[in-house]
């Protein structure tokens, strides 16, 4: 029982971070129907930026997150301008290949500059014990950070003029343009926001686990599973999907060896795709 | 016209390629200048024994490989400086070496050892660094009836293949962590439950399988035995599985994963009397974990602070051979301007084992030296050396013990490692992990 509760809490807290990463992917898909295969390296950029700021400038990794958010936004805008803008109206395969190319370029650059060593942000906060329950502060703060950024996204999309414009473009781009909304600017901004979320998620992950330049990849895959669970294009669904995945990862190893976790996860992925292709929380 | 020009260009290009091909010499292995000097005025009946080996002077095993060779070269320089070894017939032998760079490559190793035996007429062989390369070279040594001392190679499997001329200097993988069980028995006689979490590669799996058997035979209960993949960074699931009341947590794998596991165990405030892990703890970089490294135990083949001495050998009723720990340490530092690692000590020990066997046999004849190696039981700066004689594991090292280091916090607040086991080699007294 103790093990179950400990595992559930660990998984639940991590689930928020998974949800945040998936939300970025989901937002980009929801607004412009682009499957962003450069999502993984953007997560890695978040990790690396936090690491470099911590190691070279001694910046607290949680404060560094503000810088990471800025870097993520700028990177997203750049990727949009260079690789996505021209193919946005082309068939899906074009944008898929364009973002895949960006993925390969970024991985190549990381490899050349940083190499494949494991990096570790040596910043331990200890843990909080409540009875037999033991929570590390890094996980608690990561969950809190993820919640803050989710709230920020929600407020931005629903209560600001620009946010409303993004939603209008997502809903019907032509109609939005007829209303005088500069749709391409909104698309670029959405891509930037999606990357911002990915980079921040990466930054939060780097405070919990050590990472290599390839660590963004598995989180990108998890993001796909989460988006399918929660419904692609539905940010709230992404958060709930993230929590579900986190809980599964916490609980499955209790009954079977951890090697089986991806088998169950991706089995579920296929199952949901077959039974309800729009995702559990997706539109009918 | 265009076809003509095209053909002419093609012919010219082809000729150029042929010429280029002729001009380029086929790559030959670079024989390097023997490091040890040949004795100038050879006494009457003096012989020079050639020791052949390959070294990983390039490739991923370069650092460890080079340290091993440094150790071997130091031994050769010292034995030759003393005028070599006097054999039973009164003649003297000195040593020289012949070596090639194996590029840390298995295929290359076999080709080069064949060359060392047939072309360079090596009398004795030393293995390359790492279990994989040593295993590849052992086949050749046995095939050509040459004695080989393996060093820098811990795998047990090489010695279960029926070889009769291969002798291991390192403690085998199967005994990497068994000493930790003995240590636990001494420190906490009431301890019962052990959790084993390990990397799923061959080396670590071999180590923990042997550990599990040993612990079970000693009456311990293994309450968790689970492997993790190479790239695991989240050990939460494994840590949550450790049952309450576990007395010791053991296992690990290589540096990156083991240090992460150690850190997460600490953050999760997992309490146990002992934490003993592979590979990472003896590394000085392990101290970067801060408070998480305190009390963690790890096995090492050798450390400069070991306390083996002629006195302790005498007390154990064993013959002492070679330099003392301090003499080796000092000579090595003087020659290479760096602290000796266990790879360096292993290289020196390989040469020293050969020297002891030749002295005992009074001959350089393979059969006589083999007999001396089979009977060998001696103590040295490197520890005890004794080989298994049975058919099923001939040549396996059974005398040498791992030393176990433990991380202490000194009064200044810095973390330092001390040797705590076996007690004969200890530089400090082991302690149980304080509550976290």
- Number of CB pairs < 8 Å for A and B? 67
Choose from A117, A118, A213, A254 for mutation: most chain B CBs within 10 A.
Answer: A118
The tokens describing B245, both together, are 């009341």
Do B47-171+308-386 and B175-300+402-425 have matching folds?
A: yes
pLDDT digits (tens, 9 = 90+) for B240-281: 889 989 999 999 988 788 988 999 999 888 999 999 998 889
Chain A CB contacts of B289 below 8 Å: 122
Enumerate the residues of chain A whose CB falls inside 8 A of the CB of residue B290: 122, 124
Distance CA B129, CA B151 (A): 7
- Is A248 within the bounds of a domain? no
* Cβ within 8 Å, pair A138-B240: no
Residues B77-133 pLDDT 10s: 999 999 999 999 999 999 999 999 988 788 899 999 999 999 999 999 999 988 888
Q: Tell me the two tokens of residue A163.
A: 């946010």
Question: Which of B151, B146, B97 is CA-nearest to residue B120?
Answer: B97
Architecture of domain B47-171+308-386 in this structure? 3-Layer(aba) Sandwich (3.40)
Residue A284 lies in a domain: no
Taking a C-beta distance cutoff of 8 angstroms, is the pair A69, A197 a contact? no
- For residue A273, the model assigns a pLDDT of 87
Q: Do B267 and A253 make contact, defined as CB atoms within 8 angstroms?
A: no
The per-residue pLDDT for B187 is 94
A229 part of a folded domain: no
CA distance B210 to B208: 5
Alpha helices in A58-123 (DSSP H): 61-79, 92-114
Is residue A7 very low, low, confident or very high in pLDDT (cuts 50, 70, 90)? confident
Lowest mean pLDDT among A101-115, B1-15, B169-183, B198-212: B1-15
Residue A279: C-alpha distances to residues A152, A282, A284 (Å): 24, 5, 9
**Type and span of the H or E element at A206:** helix A183-208
Q: Which residues pair with B386 in a beta bridge?
A: B377
The Cα–Cα gap between A208 and A142 comes to 8
Phi, psi of B149 (to 5 degrees): -100, 120
The string of DSSP letters for B372-393 reads HHHH-EEEETTEEEEB--SSTT
Crossing angle for the helix pair B325-336 and B342-361, to the nearest 10 degrees? 120
CATH of domain B175-300+402-425: 3.40.50.2300
3-state secondary structure of B199: strand
Q: How many CB atoms lie within 10 A of CB A123?
A: 13
B234 touches chain A (CB under 8 A): yes
Sign of the torsion angle spanned by Cα atoms A249, A253, A254, A256: positive
Sign of the Cα torsion A34, A37, A43, A46 reads negative
* pLDDT computed for residue B290 by the predictor: 86
Query: By the 8 A CB rule, do A17 and A204 touch?
Result: yes
- B18-60 residue pLDDT tens: 444 444 444 444 444 444 444 444 445 688 999 999 988 776 6
Q: Where are the beta strands (DSSP E) in chain A?
A: 127-130, 133-136
Domain count, chain A: 1
Chain A residues whose C-beta is within 8 A of a chain B C-beta are: 2-3, 6-7, 10, 14, 118, 120, 122, 124, 126-127, 129, 132, 134, 136, 138, 208-212, 215, 249-250, 253-254, 257-259, 261
Q: Is residue A163 part of a domain?
A: yes
Contact B233 A134 (CB under 8 A): no
């Amino acid at each position: 029982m103790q093990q179950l509760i400990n595992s559930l809490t660990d998984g639940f807290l991590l689930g928020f971070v998974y949800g945040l990463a998936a939300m970025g992917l989901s937002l980009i898909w929801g607004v412009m129907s682009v499957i962003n295969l450069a999502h993984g390296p953007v997560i890695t950029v978040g990790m690396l930026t936090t690491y470099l700021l911590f190691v070279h400038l001694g910046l607290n990794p949680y404060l560094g997150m503000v810088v990471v958010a800025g870097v993520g936004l700028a990177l997203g805008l750049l990727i949009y301008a260079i690789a996505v803008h021209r193919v946005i109206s082309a068939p899906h395969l074009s944008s898929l290949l364009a973002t895949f190319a960006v993925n390969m370029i970024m991985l190549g650059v990381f490899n050349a500059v940083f190499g494949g060593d494991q990096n570790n942000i040596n910043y331990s906060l200890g843990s909080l014990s409540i009875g037999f329950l033991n929570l590390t502060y890094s996980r608690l703060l990561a969950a809190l950070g993820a919640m803050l950024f989710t709230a920020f996204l929600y407020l931005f999309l629903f209560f600001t003029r620009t946010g409303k414009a993004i939603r209008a473009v997502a809903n019907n781009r032509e109609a939005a343009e007829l209303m005088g909304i500069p749709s391409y600017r909104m698309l670029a901004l959405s891509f930037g926001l999606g990357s911002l979320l990915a980079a921040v998620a990466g930054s939060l992950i780097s405070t919990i686990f050590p990472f290599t330049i390839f660590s963004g990849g598995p989180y990108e895959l998890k993001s796909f599973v989460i988006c399918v669970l929660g419904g692609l294009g539905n940010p709230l669904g992404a958060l709930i999907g993230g929590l579900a995945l986190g809980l599964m990862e916490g609980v499955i190893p209790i009954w079977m060896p951890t090697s089986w976790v991806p088998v169950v996860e991706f089995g579920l992925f296929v199952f949901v795709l077959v039974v309800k292709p729009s995702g559990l929380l997706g539109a009918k | 016209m265009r076809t003509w020009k095209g053909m002419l260009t093609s012919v010219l290009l082809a000729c150029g390629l042929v010429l280029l091909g002729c001009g380029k010499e086929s790559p030959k292995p670079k024989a390097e200048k023997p490091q040890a000097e040949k004795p100038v005025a050879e006494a009457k009946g003096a012989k020079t024994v050639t020791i052949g080996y390959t070294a990983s002077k390039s490739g991923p095993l370069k650092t460890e490989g080079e340290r091993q060779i440094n150790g071997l070269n130091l031994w050769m320089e010292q034995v030759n400086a003393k005028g070599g070894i006097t054999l039973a017939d009164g003649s003297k032998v000195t040593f020289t070496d012949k070596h090639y760079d194996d590029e840390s490559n298995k295929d290359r190793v076999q080709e080069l050892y064949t060359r060392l035996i047939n072309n360079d007429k090596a009398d004795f062989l030393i293995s390359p660094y790492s279990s994989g390369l040593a295993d590849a070279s052992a086949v050749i040594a046995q095939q050509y009836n040459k004695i080989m001392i393996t060093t820098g190679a811990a795998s047990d499997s090489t010695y279960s293949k029926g070889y009769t001329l291969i002798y291991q200097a390192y403690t085998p993988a199967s005994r990497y962590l068994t000493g930790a069980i003995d240590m636990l028995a001494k420190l906490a006689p009431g301890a019962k439950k052990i959790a084993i979490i390990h990397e799923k590669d061959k080396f670590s799996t071999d180590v923990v399988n042997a550990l599990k058997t040993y612990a079970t035979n000693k009456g311990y209960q293994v309450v968790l035995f689970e492997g993790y993949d190479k790239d695991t960074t989240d050990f939460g699931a494994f840590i949550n599985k450790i049952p309450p009341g576990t007395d010791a947590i053991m296992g690990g794998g290589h540096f990156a994963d083991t240090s992460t596991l150690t850190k997460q165990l600490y953050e999760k405030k997992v309490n146990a009397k002992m934490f003993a892990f592979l590979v990472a703890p003896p590394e000085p970089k392990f101290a970067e974990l801060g408070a998480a490294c305190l009390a963690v135990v790890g096995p090492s083949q050798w450390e400069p602070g070991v306390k083996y001495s002629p006195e302790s050998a005498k007390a154990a009723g064993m013959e002492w051979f070679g330099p003392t720990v301090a003499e080796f340490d000092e000579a090595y530092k003087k020659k290479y301007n760096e602290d000796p690692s266990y790879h360096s000590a292993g290289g020196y020990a390989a040469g020293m084992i050969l020297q002891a066997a030749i002295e005992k046999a009074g001959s350089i004849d393979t059969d006589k030296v083999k007999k001396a190696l089979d009977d060998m039981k001696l103590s040295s700066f490197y520890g005890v050396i004794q080989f298994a004689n049975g058919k099923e594991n001939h040549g396996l090292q059974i005398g040498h013990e791992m030393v176990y280091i433990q991380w202490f916090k000194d009064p200044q607040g810095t973390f330092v490692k001390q040797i705590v086991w076996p007690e004969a080699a200890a530089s400090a007294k082991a302690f149980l992990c304080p509550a976290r």
